[in-house]
Chain A
Amino acid sequence: MNGKPGSLASSVVAAAHGDAERLAADGRWTSEKTVELDRAFERAAVQALRRPRFAERSLVLRRLARLVVPAAARPSLRRALGTVERALGSVGARRER
């Protein structure tokens, strides 16, 4: 979409549009395959979002932690929370199966 008509960039784009259309016409890459990719990512997103991430996803918790937890103790607290979340996540994963 950039470049003056006839420029290298615009010629690449124009040729690629034709290539993409041919891929679809030949059945090498159809719109159904794109839809499959979209669905695969959506499934991955839903699984990832299902895992608990208390400290990361809660603004209130994060603000509270900054107020009450000394800076030096934050890394170890973060690790501990991560362990808990991973454990809960693995329970969730078992349930999914």
Chain B
Amino acid sequence: MESASGSSSSVRPTRIDQVIPSIIEHDAVSNHTFVAQRLLREMGFVSEIYAAIIGPGCAGRVHPLGELPSLEDGSQWVLYQCSIGGPAADVVARHPGRKLLDYHNITPSPLVERWLPPLAEECRLGRRQLKALAPLVSYAFARSAYNAAELATNGFARSTVVPFLVERGNFDESPDADWLARLAAARSEGGSDWLFVGQIAPHKAQHDLVKAFACYRSVYDADARLHLVGREMGSTYIDALRRFIAALGLQDAISLPGSVSVGALVAYYGIADVFVCLSDHEGFCAPIVEAMSRGVPVVAYAAAAVPETVGEAGVLLSDKSPAFVASVVHRLLGDAPVRASLVAAGRARALQYAPEVAAAAFRDAIKVALAAR
């Protein structure tokens, strides 16, 4: 196998292709990959995306993994978008070109083992592959300092933090009028709106959100609503979540709209009183930044990279017992000066992750990687 300081190090690449295990619409890692492609092309590189699994909405923009060229003259580099295990990592490991790795973190397998054993196996595989890639990768990017620390632990010699890449258009998109009207109509009947955006998945702990929300409805606001936006990861966890919601009689108060368009998502941020994240694991949590940029105050359980993403611009929780979470939200929504202050702090925090800031960090990281070859 080629080492990170291979013989072709003096050749400047003309193309930097990206490899990703799977790519799908309305997904943060996938969107990041598309923006990275645009930036690489703007920097003058030929850049294509190759994926083992190409989801709906991505056909025509992404090539099957088997079509990845293997140029041996040093003119081709490969940037691997690492978030789970699979054949893509092995293809990257065998590739003759210089390798970069962009680390989004890999969900700890115990968090998904009970619900989706095959996914847990892919998570374990991903961590093994990450370690195996360390001596082969010349430079790595990480979504957060938390992720960068994991890279160092796994033997990556050089890495830098590059925030999530997002399109400016997504940031500025107007709310979908139909969605906004529907959500506003429900809102006009009273009650506050809680929002969480993320895959419906065990490690995102939507069941803990339901518990806290049930307590909040019981003691503070009987008309409150909870919106859990995101596609499901497998069918078992969402099945359990639906049964749980039904058992509590909260079907009319909790919505699970699935994956929605950017305009619909903006409508949700537009009506939300508070963004509550009780995830047990996040490598960054882009929706926290989206909420901040849209003026929604954030309450979040302090797990993994979440404290780093939130900073001082939200309320971080050291435990997620229902009464405590409900009381935090109640305090936040009932105190206008506190709420306004956190909204202002959130907007300022989101500017640090603005699309142009992240794009500049990505370009700088590529330049450093080129200089380090």
Q: Which A positions have Cβ atoms within 8 angstroms of B?
A: 1-3, 7-9, 11-13, 15-17, 19-20, 23-24, 28-29, 33-34, 37-38, 40-41, 43-45, 47-49, 51, 53, 56-59, 62
Contact = CB atoms under 8 A, between A and B. Distances in A.
A20 B240 contact: no
Tell me if A's interface is mostly helix, strand, loop or mixed.
helix
10 contacts: A1-B317, A2-B311, A9-B312, A12-B338, A15-B331, A16-B330, A17-B324, A19-B331, A53-B236, A56-B235
Interface residues of B, number: 49
B316 A2 contact: yes
Nearest to B56: A75
Contacts of B342: 8-9
Nearest to B298: A9
Q: Give 4 nearest A-B pairs by CB, closest first.
A: A44-B243, A48-B240, A59-B118, A19-B327
B230 interface: no
B233 to A, nearest CB: 10
B116 to A, nearest CB: 7
Contacts of B237: 48
Interface in B235-262: 235-237, 239-241, 243-244, 247-248
Nearest to B122: A59
B305 interface: no
Contact of A13 (B114, B307, B322, B328): B328
Nearest to B325: A16
In this complex, the member of A2, A3, A43 whose beta carbon has the largest number of chain B beta carbons within 10 angstroms is A2
Contact of A28 (B219, B235, B248, B307): B219
Interface string B292-316: 0000000000100001001110111
A43 B315 CA distance: 31
Nearest to B300: A2
A58 to B, nearest CB: 7
Contacts of B248: 37, 40
Contacts of B239: 48, 51
Nearest to B218: A29
A8 B341 contact: yes
Interface of B: 114-118, 121-122, 207, 210-211, 214-215, 218-219, 234-237, 239-241, 243-244, 247-248, 302, 307, 310-312, 314-318, 321-324, 326-328, 330-332, 335, 338, 341-342
Contacts of B338: 8, 11-12
A2 B312 contact: yes
Contact of B240 (A12, A47, A53, A58): A47
B18 to A, nearest CB: 21
Contacts of A38: 211
Contacts of B315: 2, 9, 12-13
B281 to A, nearest CB: 18
A8 to B, nearest CB: 5
A47 B317 CA distance: 31
A86 B165 CA distance: 40
Contact of B244 (A33, A40, A51, A53): A40
